[in-house]
Structure 1
C-alpha cells in the first residue's frame, strides 16, 4: 500500500479556485432538456424562451360587482342633477369576472347606485370609459415573452403560465450528481440504528447532507454505497459514474494530506487535478478536478468542511450549469461580543449566534472546529473573515450572512454565562406557547456572563458565584462588577453539585480529598466559572492546592462536556451537576446544593420576551420538567430574590 502523503503544494485562494473552476467549465453544450406538465415544473429551469398562447384576460371582464354601462350615458350625472338609468337599455347587472355585455365599457359599483321602482337606478356620478373593467390582455397579451430561457419556475410563474395557455414546458434536465462516500471507518445509518458504532467508527452523514443541499439547488443525486479507503475501489466507483453519464461527481472524504487520503491520487490518475487545497477555513483540503470534461470534487470528511466546500464551490457551479446566478444570503451589520483572532492568509467562515440587544445585533462566536456540526445547527449567521485580516475587533461592525430570518434574530433572548441543563429545557418550554421567541445561550462561565452584561452584549446572564465569606451566591460579585447597572436577580434553580464518576466508581473515590491521589485523573471547568470557584474554595477549606490534582489544568466549558469526558475514560472524576451525571448514567457524589440565578438588567426586565421567559420559568409545568431531570430544587424558581440599586449600589 502506498503511504505517501499528499502535500498541499499550490493552494489557491477561494476567488482563484472559483475562477479556475468556472474557466474550466464555462459552457455546457450537452444540456439536455425534457418537457413537463406545467403543474409539475415548479423549481425547474426553462430550456428556451416561453411565449404566451392566450391573452389574459381573453375578454373584457368586470372588475367589480355592479352594473355594466356605456360610459357616455353617465356623463353629466352629479348630486344636484342625478341620472336615471333603465335596465336592459342603459345598463345590465354584472358580477366580478363576468364578460362585459356588448356595447358596454364601464362598471358602476353596486354601492354607488340607488334602485328605484320598475328596476330603474339613479346615479349621482359619472364613470369614465373602462373604469372598473379588466380589459382583454390587461395582464398578458398573446405572443408576448413570458419568461426567458434559464428562468427558474416559481409558484408565481405557474400562475402566469397557466393563464397564458401554457400547459407543457421544456425545461433543463436536473444536474445529475454521483456521490461516493469513502472511508473504512464509516458506518451506514441503517447499520448504526441496529448496532451502536464501535470506537473508531463514524456514522456516515455527509452524503445525505450534501444530497439534500444539492437537490435544493437543482441537482438530482445518486448515492453510491460506502467505499473503503482503497484507491482502486474509489477509481472504480468514479468510472461507474462516468459510464452512467452523470454531470458531476463528489468523492466524500480522502481529500486531505493523510497517507490514506486517495482523492487526489484517483483524480490525477483518471483526469486532471485543477486545485488541491483552498485557503479557507473550514474546507481547506477540497479538491477540484476534471475527468472526461466533467467536474469532480474531492470533499473534505469533516462535516462543516464538507458543507462550506459545497456551498462555496459546488453550489455555484450547479447554478451556473443551469444558467442561474448563485443565491445570496441576506447580510446584516453585527457587532462581535469579543475580539476574535484569525489566521492571516486564510479566509475564515466563522459561525456565530446572533441576537438584538438594544439597538445592535450582537454576534457570539461558536466553536470553530471543522468537525462540530452543531456549530452550524446552532448558528444564526456566518461572518466571513477575509484572508488579509488577522481577526475582528470587539464591538466593531462587520457583515454577517444570515442563516435565519431577521425577525427570528430580533426575537432572540441572548443569555451568556454559566451553563445549566435547565436553560435548554426553558428554551424548549418557551417555544410550546410562544414559537416566535428563541432563547439562545452561550456558555462562558458565570464571570464571563457578568462581563457580558457589563459590556451590554446580552439580555441576561446565568450565574452561581459563591461568596466564601457568607456562603451567599452572586450578590457580592454583582455589587463588585456591575455596580453601575441596576439588575434583578431571579432564581432559576437550586442544584446538586458534586463529583461525576464512572459507573460503579471503579477507583472508589469518596470525595474531593481523593482528587490528589496519583491514580486519579481529573477534568476541570474553565477559569471564571462558578464550578471552578466552588472547587477552589473547597480545596482551600481542605488545605489542598491545585498542583496536587492531576488534570487540574484540563478544562471543559459545560457540565455535559465534563460528564462526557468521564464517560469516555479520559478522566476519572469531574465536578459538575447531578443532572449531567444522571443523563449519561454515571455515578455521583454530592458536594453542595448551590443557587443558580439569572442576572437581568432592569432595562431589559420588562421587555416582552423577558416577561415571557420569567412567566415560563415560574410555571408549574416547567418546574415539573426540571424536577424530572433529577438533582434540582424549584422552591424559588422564577422568583425575584434580589434587586440592586445600580449607580454604585
Structure 2
C-alpha cells in the first residue's frame, strides 16, 4: 500500500516580504533537542557556517537574536528563539492528527483505484502512540486500510453504524472500570462484539519540570493560579478526568482553563511545555518527549472493538499477527508508560469486564 505523508509548514513574513526559513526553525528545534548548535547541524546535515548564516538572517527578520553564544554552554536559545521552537512543536502536535487522517484517506482512495477488488479495513481510533505504532506496521504490510482519528465515543458509534470495522477505546483498570464500561454500554450491547487488546498505558498529570506549582493530584488543579489545558469532550482521557474530579468533589468550574481543549496527548503536553498552562492530564509518552514531569494516576487497557464476524476476515487476522509479533510489541514497550503484554489477545466483553459477566445465582432458600 502506498504511503502518503503530509507535514505542517509555517512561516513568519517580515515587513519587507522576507520569510523565516523552515530550515532555520528546524535548526532551532534541533538546538533545543540536542543541546548545541553543532549537534543540531550534524543531525540536520547542515554545515556550521551555513547554520549561522541562517540564524543571522532570522535575527534580522525578527529584530532580535534567536541564538546566542554562552561561555561554557556553547550556543543557547534566547527567549524569542525558544518561543519559535514551542510554536513549531505546538503546530505539529495540533495538526498531526488532522493531516495523518487526511493522508490515510488519500492512501485509501489511491488503493481503491490501484486495487479495486481488495477490501479496505477501516479503523477509527484516537491519535495515540500505540495506534501510531500499529499504523506504521500496517503500512509495511499488504493490508489495505484506512485510519480515521477521532474521539473514543465517536469511534464506537461509527462501529455501531457500520462505518468502520475496528474502533479504538480505552478502559481504566480498577475502580473506574465499571463507570467507563457503562458509559460505552449503549454501543457495546448493540451487536455481538469482541475486543482486541492492544496495550496497557499510564495516564496522569503532566506538569512543568520540577513541578513548581506543586501539583500532585486532581484537586490541586482547582488552586488559584494554576492554569489547566484539557482534552476534548468525547475522548477517553476526558472521561477519566471527569470521574477523578467527581471522586475528589472538585467542580470543573473551579479549574482555570477547564473548557480550553486540545485533541491529542501531544498537543496538551506541548501546551504545558510552552508555558501556556501549568498542567494537563494524559499519557506518559508525550510528557517524557517534552521533558515534563509526570505524576502517574491510573493505568488503562486500550482495545480495538469489532463485530465478532470480522475476526474471520483475512485483513483482521493479519492485524492480529502484527499485534502479536515482536516488532510491534518492541515498539510499544519502548514507549514510556506503555506495555504491549497481551497485545493481539481476543476477548469477549464478559471476559474483559466484570460488569458484563452474568450475575451469580443466589442460593435457594432452605425449606423449613
Q: In the TM superposition, what is the alpha-carbon distance from 1:405 to its structure 2 partner?
A: 5.2
Q: Using a 3 Å threshold, how does the CA distance of structure 1 residues 411 and 562 change in structure 2: closer, same or farther? A: farther
Question: Once superposed, what is the RMSD of the aligned Cα atoms?
Answer: 3.6
Long gaps (5+) in structure 1: 1-180, 199-224, 230-368, 382-400
SS of the equivalent of 2:221 reads helix
Question: Could you tell me how far 1:507 is from its partner in structure 2?
Answer: 1.9
Query: CA separation in 2, counterparts of 1:593 and 1:182?
Result: 42
Task: Say whether residues 1:380 and 2:73 are aligned partners.
Answer: no
Q: Call closer, same or farther: CA 1:599–1:499 in 2, change over 3 Å.
A: same
Larger strand percent: 1
**What residue is the counterpart of 1:571 in the other structure?**
277
Quote the residue 1:414 is aligned against.
122
**Corresponding position: 1:594 with 2:320:** no
Structure 2 match to 1:14: none
8 A Cα contact 2:206 2:295, kept in partner: yes
Partner SS, residue 552 of structure 1: coil
Residues 584 and 512 of structure 1, relative CA distance in 2, 3 Å threshold: same
**TM-score under structure 1 normalisation?**
0.39
Between the aligned partners of 1:491 and 1:577, the Cα distance in structure 2 is 17
Structure exhibiting the larger radius of gyration computed from Cα positions:
1
1:601 shift after superposition: 1.2
Q: Distance in 1 between matches of 2:102 and 2:177?
A: 40
2: CA distance, partners of 1:418 / 1:511: 25
Task: Please say if residues 173 and 298 of structure 2, whose CA atoms lie closer than 8 Å, have aligned partners that are also in contact.
Answer: no
Match of 1:171 in 2: none
In the alignment, does 2:13 pair up with 1:183? yes
- Work out whether 1:425 is the aligned partner of 2:152: no
- Alpha-carbon displacement from aligned partner over 1:404-432 (angstroms, at most 9, x marks no partner): 65246855432223332111111112333
The Cα shift of 1:605 comes to 2.0
Report the TM-score when normalising by structure 2: 0.66
Q: Sort the Cα spacing of 1:374 and 1:606 in 2 relative to 1 into closer, same or farther, 3 A.
A: closer
Aligned counterparts, 1:281-296, within 5 A: none
| Cross-structure match for 1:301 | none
Distance 1:195 1:583, change over 3 A: closer
Distance 1:588 1:569 in 2: 16
User: Shift of residue 529 of structure 1?
Assistant: 1.5
Per-residue deviation at 1:570? 2.0
Aligned pair 1:437/2:143, yes or no? yes
Q: How does 1:602-621 map to 2 (within 5 A)?
A: 602-621=308-327
Using the alignment, how far apart are the partners of 1:414 and 1:376 within structure 2? Answer: 14
Task: Report the Cα distance in structure 1 between the residues aligned to 2:153 and 2:101, rounded to whole angstroms.
Answer: 23
Matched residues in 2 for 1:610 and 1:543: separation? 43
Tell me, yes or no, if structure 1 residue 460 matches structure 2 residue 166. yes
Write the distance in 2 (CA, Å) between the matches of 1:194 and 1:481.
48
Distance in 1 separating the partners of 2:183 and 2:224: 35
376 and 508 in structure 1: CA distance in 2 versus 1, 3 angstrom threshold: same
Post-superposition offset of 1:374: 5.7
State the secondary structure of the residue aligned to 1:582: helix
- Judged with a 3 Å threshold, the aligned counterparts in structure 2 of structure 1 residues 518 and 478 are, in CA distance, closer, same or farther, namely closer
Structure 2, unaligned stretches of length 5 or more?
Answer: 1-10, 32-56, 62-94, 352-357, 359-368
- Report the count of equivalent residues: 279
The superposition leaves residues 506-525 of structure 1 with CA deviations (integer Å, 9 ceiling, x where unpaired) of 32212212100121111111
Alpha-carbon shift at residue 643 of structure 1 (Å): 4.4
Structure ranking higher on relative contact order (CA contacts 8 Å, 6+ apart): 2
Deviation digits for residues 589-632 of structure 1 (CA, Å, limit 9, x no counterpart): 10111111111112322211111111111112211110111101
Contact 1:499–1:511 (Cα < 8 Å) also in 2: yes
The match for 2:207 among 484, 501, 504 is 501
Q: Say which structure is richer in helix.
A: 2
Closer/same/farther in 2, CA of residues 189 and 523 from structure 1, 3 Å limit:
closer
